[in-house]
Structure 1
Amino acid sequence: MQFASTDSYIVSEQLALAVNAAITLEKPLLLKGEPGTGKTRLAEELAKGLNAPLVRWQIKSTTKAQQGLYEYDAVSRLRDSQLGSDKVHDISNYIKPGKLWQAFTAEQRPVLLIDEIDKADIEFPNDLLHELDQMEFHVYETGEQIKAEQRPIVIITSNNEKELPDAFLRRCFFHYIQFPDADTLKDIVHVHYPDIQKQLLSTALEVFFDLRSTPNLKKKPSTSELIDWLKLLLAEQVPAKQLAEQHDKGGLMPLFGALLKNEQDVELVEKLAFMARRRER
């Protein structure tokens, strides 16, 4: 399969090439980009396009690499031994397979999503080097060697919150998702709202890109936030004329809470609009 845009998901030519290259090389695809640019969605759409199972490993600040392999529940085994359970004689009863184990032993070649890897400890990527490179690991408690029956397609996402180790980067195919231009955003919006009025979309995109270009904005609004904002504009039946007039006046746009996510950015936009009005007097 050659991955490309579908009726429900738009990708750039460069991103499609990156996905296909990673599959050909059998290397993990490391995706970086602003939050909300569709990194996680790509793995979901790839799995759907391949009709393959998706194994999602959501990384948190407390996640350890070992959890992706398996976890040994020694506490349950101790409790069962105190209760005289026959389960204690088979240690495998207390081994819980992790996401990598599930992906390695899947009946059909899966898509393995390691989501937001930069949230974990700095040593987390290095602790997975061997497993992702050799596609196997050892279970010390049982003596098993778990080896991938078929190499999963690995998608790793990062929001660039911290640098990843060079040794890890060498084992990946890297792609940075650039923020979509206006034409691509129009295509994306039409996937979600095919009947949106042309003038409303044009005006909304103008407002959106002006907001993103605001100097010193702490958090620029993303594609997903644009989609949410347009949904609200359509639900409230805000006409393009009203949106354009509000934009010309400057300041906060209707339903701005879908785009601006902190009080500093709200204050900044209000302050810049106030200064612009003073200069016009």
Structure 2
Amino acid sequence: MNEMQQPTRFEGSDSYVATADLRVAVNAAVQLARPLLVKGEPGTGKTVLAREVADALGMPLIEWHVKSTTKAQHGLYEYDAVARLRDGQLGDERVRDISNYIRRGKLWEAFTAPEQAVLLIDEIDKADIEFPNDLLLELDRMEFFVYETGETVRAKHRPIVIITSNNEKELPDAFLRRCFFHYIRFPDPETMAAIVEVHFPKLKQEMLRAALNAFFEIREVPGLKKKPSTSELLDWLKLLLIEDIPPEALKVTDEKDLIPPLYGALLKNEQDVHLFERLAFLARREGRA
């Protein structure tokens, strides 16, 4: 395997606000040649990070989105024995070469890429608990063996591996030891303002302040089942601008109406909507007392 060339350091981009600790984590993982395991609330930009790193470093991005049915073998390759049997019954000459029935996985694609690539293994915690351990050897050695053809696939260039997790289940200690870990903290108001300004550069400051105040007040409501995320804030702002909602309409602490306009972009389950309806009812009743 060729030695990894010294990459350009990741410093964020014009379209992605990367905090100092996140930039340090990305560059540390690259220097150590270890997978970067990124955790954080849904909507905090974990998946987007891989795309931004690839763009910033000028590398191709290979994405492996994990599902509950995904097995580690799927990332290496799959042998389609059924297709070969069917072709054999039809007398197809392709059956003579078993490699015609080997489907390459995302790790194979990353290992054989003509240049160093960024490999995203997205939401690894969705798969079976054994899934991470089943990838340990391949991620350590940057190679794997194809039993059907007898070949060993080795990485031409060690990919930059970014793994995301939503903490749906605990990951094995043996896997964690081999990763560089970073938890993306939820953005503070100052960082969130910078993120919003990237997406809405012409947004008036009065609207920005009102939206952020309302957003963070909603997140702090006790008993909220799902706190709105960064991506949901951006969706909400887009709708507010389309509907030309004034800043004064966003004051969710108003006794008359605690439910923000276009709340469907922020509140994603009936329990949280009912919670705000009850709070609004109590506020109105106390106002009449």
- State TM-score, norm by structure 1: 0.98
SS of match in other structure, 1:174: strand
Runs (5+) with no aligned partner, structure 1: none
Using the TM superposition, give the Cα deviation of residue 273 of structure 1 relative to its aligned residue in structure 2, in angstroms: 2.4
Give the letter aligned to residue 148 of structure 2. Answer: E
Q: Deviations over 1:101-160 (max 9, x none)?
A: 000000010000000000000110011010011110000000000011110000000001
* Alpha-carbon separation, structure 1, partners of 2:253 and 2:265: 16
Q: Does 1:160 align with 2:177?
A: no
Q: Match for residue 46 of structure 1?
A: 53
**1:275 CA displacement:** 2.1
- Cα gap change, 1:247 to 1:238, in 2 (>3 Å): farther
Deviation at 1:84, TM superposition (A): 0.9
SS of match in other structure, 1:248: coil
1:193 equivalenced with 2:200 (yes/no): yes
Confirm or deny that 1:59 pairs with 2:66. Answer: yes
Counterpart residue number, 1:110: 117
Matches of 2:49 and 2:230, distance apart in 1: 14
Structure 1 residue 95 and structure 2 residue 131: aligned?
no
| Aligned partners of 1:247 and 1:253 also within 8 Å | no
Alignment partner of 2:281 out of 271, 274, 278: 274
Match of 2:222 in 1: 215
Conserved 8 A contact 1:35-1:222: yes
CA contact (8 A) 2:219 2:228 kept: yes
Q: Distance in 2 between matches of 1:94 and 1:140?
A: 13
- 1:204 to 2:211 alignment: yes
Mapped to 2, the partners of 1:115 and 1:147 lie a distance apart of: 22
Deviations 1:229-257 (A, max 9, x none): 0000000011112223x542342110000
Task: Give the RMSD, CA atoms, in angstroms.
Answer: 1.0
Shift in Å, 1:77: 0.4
Q: Percent identity?
A: 66
Task: State whether residues 36 and 161 of structure 2, in contact with CA within 8 Å, keep that contact through their aligned partners in structure 1.
Answer: yes
**TM-fit CA distance, 1:5:** 2.5
Q: 2:238 aligns with which of 220, 224, 231?
A: 231
Residues 12 and 52 in structure 2, CA contact (< 8 A), matched pair in contact too = no
What corresponds to 2:254 in structure 1? Answer: 248
Does 1:130 pair with 2:137?
A: yes
Rounded Cα–Cα distance in structure 2 between residues aligned with 1:197 and 1:213: 25
Instruction: Say if 2:132 and 2:172, in contact at 8 Å, map to a contact too.
Output: yes
